[in-house]
Amino acid sequence: LDHGQSYWLDNLTRGMIDSGALEQRVRQEGLRGVTSNPSIFQKAITGGTEYDEQIVELMDRRLPVNRIYERLVVDDIRDACDVLRPVYDESGGTDGFVSLEVSPYLAHDTEGSVEEALRLYEAVDRPNVFIKIPGTDAGVPAIEELLYRGVNVNITLLFSIDAYEAVARAYLRAMERRREEGKSLEDVASVASFFLSRIDVLVDNVLGHRIQSGAAGDEVSRLMGRAGIANAKLAYRRFQELFSGDRWETLEDAGAHVQRMLWASTSTKDPLYSDIRYVEPLIGPHTVNTLPERTIRAFDDHGTVATTVEEGMDEARRVMERLSEVGIDFEHVTEQLLHEGVRKFIDPYDSLMATLAERYERHAGWPSAGHAAVLGDGEGDVEESLDSLERRQFARRLDEPDPALWSDDPEVRKAISNRLGWLELPDSFADRLDEIHAFADDVRPPEFEDVLLLGMGGSCQAARVLEGVFGADGGRPGLTVLDDTSPEAVRETERRLDLESTLVIVASKSGATVETRALYRHFRSRIGELVDASDAGDRFVAITDPGTPLAREAEERGFRALFENPEDVGGRYSALSFFGLVPAALLGIDVEALLRRAGDLRRWHDGSVPSGANPAVRLGATLGALAGDGRDKVTVVASDELEPFPLWLEQLLAESTGKEGRGLVPVVGEELEGPEAYGDDRVFVRLHTRESQDLDAARRLENLQKAGHPVLEIQLRERADLGAEFLRWEIAVATAGRILGVNPFDEPDVRSSKEATADLLEHLADEGQLPGEKPVARGEQLELYADREAAWFGSVSGGGPDRILGAILESVEAGDYLSLLSFFRPTSERRAALQTLRSRLRDRLGVATSLSHGPGYLHSTGQLHKGGPNRGVFLMLTADPGEPLDVPGEPYGFGDLRAAQALGDERALRERGRRVLRLHLGSDVEAGLRELYERLVPEGEETARAAGTPVSSSA
């Protein structure tokens, strides 16, 4: 201290504070300050148990991971400041400081640095705290602004003299601004931390290459180990120039403290150098040396104290000149060191966030936060994808959220920014629970025995899942979801429900969905026949976006309730909004628990947690990377209690990723078989609760895993974890979309079927019938329709049903998928027949299969069918509409609408060059299905299967 230098400790742990060791060093060893950084805290927090009790307490308060970290370090910094407060007071505010660093991710963010520094400064609430800001280009204006506002700043990661000068001038400007406004200068302090040993490590490495390549060995070797100290001495000379003269004297007279130079990175990295190499030559006025423990012990043992920093200035200049002469680009050296310095703080910060997130899961006993994965050969690709996401700060930017993650096009970004509101639903709808509960409590038996939900796709899928998983609580109405426009389905629903005691929810994001509108008009008409006109509106509820035609209808017709959903939430991402929560509340489901579990996932794995430790991001990266390796068939296996969930997931995966010739192909409801049944295009996902005892599925998946197939396992503690599962998969799909290079928030190819349907309905209105087409072949019950110009059909023109069916199946190749698309009422018997046919075709062809029912799939997998990879082969099944049923206010009936949708989708698939064959089953659907089965599954093949004989996978 007599020579003008203070010694600070480059270390801080809670143990040294609580034990009194820090206070002892202050009193007995002359310690004048302490610095910290994420690396120091990472070692302290993960290296022992002293933080465990507080971590548990903060976890119980459900704080996000990054806020837990902040509370831990803020408490340590505050306590250390109290220990060093006597030094601060005795020195008149020039010593006795403890440093706390802003997030290393803010190194290139001016506004973010200012915001976080102010928050941390206020949280510590001690005058002797330094907030550390790196001396980057973005850091300089932040430093000036913070100093101007009275925040003490320790500028870190300074390697070049130019960078040092920039931050010194920022300090001078801040003091001048305060002086001009009459603010105190005495209360503000700053140090500029100039790094030493890291410079020699990098420069010595380059010099070593020069020697190896034959450069003048003696001259080059004499320069080794000299750059760091030479650079520091010249920086000190610049410090003397800046803090002298009229400009500085004016500020000094007003009470300003000198911005001292702090020597950092003073531990010797090269064992051939003196262990006090960066201490002895740099002692002098207005300096600080921040020392690690080992260097302190070494200097105490054999160090010499003398004023040395101004010695050897001429030699320092010569060293820097000679380094330039031998090819050392010092500007490049310092730029690289700055980049590496930021990285050296980011890595331990990430490690700590990952550790805290893992502890959070264990403490909560919450296995749904993570998933187990056995990836086989795909593990390397997954890790590479995660590394790529981390370089792009994906998890952090998703948390903001940043639409630039998915597109460089300004217009596309603008559209995406209006589809990211789902990320905030767990918090925003927690504030609307009173509204939802009040409504649900008013809808009870006997006034309302049933709730009928009319919707399509994302407007009804979450409600269907929640009803299927939870059912209705006692004393609550039952829920029926109708997304089928067949006359039989509408009539059957009407027969089953007592419409006089039924509440009808009309759910449509756009408020103009043609199927939902038709169903609403029908039930509006029927209920209007049963109750007084003045009471009819009170039996309807609308869930839609603000300002839609449905919203206007609800207001004009006096609906019982109108729930206007956030506009920035897409249909398939709306599970945790009014679309899912209102039906759930009516069933008596604990919607608060659903949102709380989703909020936990969001908080415990927010943007501060690196991508590899974020279970939702990791899941998406896994699916995206495996798809890039050819495993794009996501085969979902759910335990009985979660059986409805994959239907929601099917739409999310298919509609979000199936575009631009890419996509994840969901395989839902396919029977699980042995390894021989599958090609190398599969990834398997098992979903189950902790209580699930599906040992057969577990055994089969274990065999698949042993055979080299990737298997992911997700276990829920209990059904309420579905709230987190909705959000986890939404994040995962957004992540997979980034890896696949598609926009996961649009559905560009859905429109084609809608437009084709509209054209056909217009033709119906003009001509009185839908346009006809001659079948390419007829069977006993079947009529076959195909594009005669299609490549697969070219060689069978004029052939019979068997030949045509054989031709389309022969077009199936490894990596394709076969999809059955039905457009008739899917009774349980018909579903069973289609499932059996599906299984036989999978075994025969050796490819993934799917079964979808129209028109619902047009709002779901239809996007994948037309916009995804051209690997789908489609067998579309239609039937006569049966007894007509008019759509009120329209020139067509429900049967006409359904037929037009089937024909419209067929037309759209053909236009996209997809392999599609429409099979019309006539008026007897069961007879048509039997004939189709007999033609597609030869009798010998069925017999062989029954006997356990392997079936050929050839067509």
- Positions marked catalytic: 132
Token pair recorded at residue 571: 């249909």
User: For 745-795, where are the E strands, in sequence order?
Assistant: 777-778, 783-785
In degrees, to the nearest 5, what angle opens at C-alpha 410 toward C-alphas 407 and 414?
A: 90
What is the 3-class SS of 854-865, one letter each residue?
Answer: CCHHHHCCHHHH
Q: Which amino acid is at 199?
A: I
Relative to beta strand 665-668, strand 633-638 is parallel
**Nearest Cα to 739, choosing from 410, 405, 411, 416?**
405
* 712/619 Cα distance (integer angstroms): 9
Element (H, E) at 577: none
* 626/618 Cα distance (integer angstroms): 12
**Nearest Cα to 292, choosing from 11, 12, 15?**
11
**Nearest Cα to 740, choosing from 865, 819, 631?**
631
Write down how long the chain is: 955
Phi and psi angles of residue 229, each rounded to the nearest 5 degrees, phi first: -70, -40
**Nearest Cα to 429, choosing from 604, 588, 546, 577?**
577
Phi and psi angles of residue 334, each rounded to the nearest 5 degrees, phi first: -70, -35
Relative to beta strand 682-689, strand 633-638 is parallel
Token pair recorded at residue 261: 């130079």
**Nearest Cα to 146, choosing from 175, 117, 172?**
117
Q: What is the side-by-side order of every strand in the sheet holding 872-878?
A: 777-778, 783-785, 915-920, 872-878, 817-823, 848-853
* 843/954 Cα distance (integer angstroms): 9
DSSP 311: T
Token pair recorded at residue 147: 């100093």
| Cis peptide upstream of residue 401 (ω within 30 degrees of 0) | yes
For residues 239 and 160, the answer to whether their CB atoms sit within 8 Å is no
* 223/215 Cα distance (integer angstroms): 13
For residues 706 and 698, the answer to whether their CB atoms sit within 8 Å is no
For residues 693 and 721, the answer to whether their CB atoms sit within 8 Å is no
Element (H, E) at 544: strand 540-544
**Nearest Cα to 189, choosing from 143, 120, 224?**
143
- C-alpha 287, offset from chain centre: 46
* 360/772 Cα distance (integer angstroms): 63
**Nearest Cα to 663, choosing from 617, 614, 698, 626?**
626
Contacts of 382 by beta carbon, 8 Å cutoff, 6+ apart: 375, 618, 621, 622, 625, 626
* 7 beta partners: 289
For residues 587 and 471, the answer to whether their CB atoms sit within 8 Å is yes
| CA distances, 820 to each of 858, 917, 936 (Å) | 13, 10, 13
Phi-psi region of 183 (alpha: psi -120 to 50; beta: other; left: phi over 0): beta
* 323/234 Cα distance (integer angstroms): 14
Phi-psi region of 92 (alpha: psi -120 to 50; beta: other; left: phi over 0): left
One DSSP character per residue, 647-667 reads HHHHHHHHHHH-BTTB--EEE
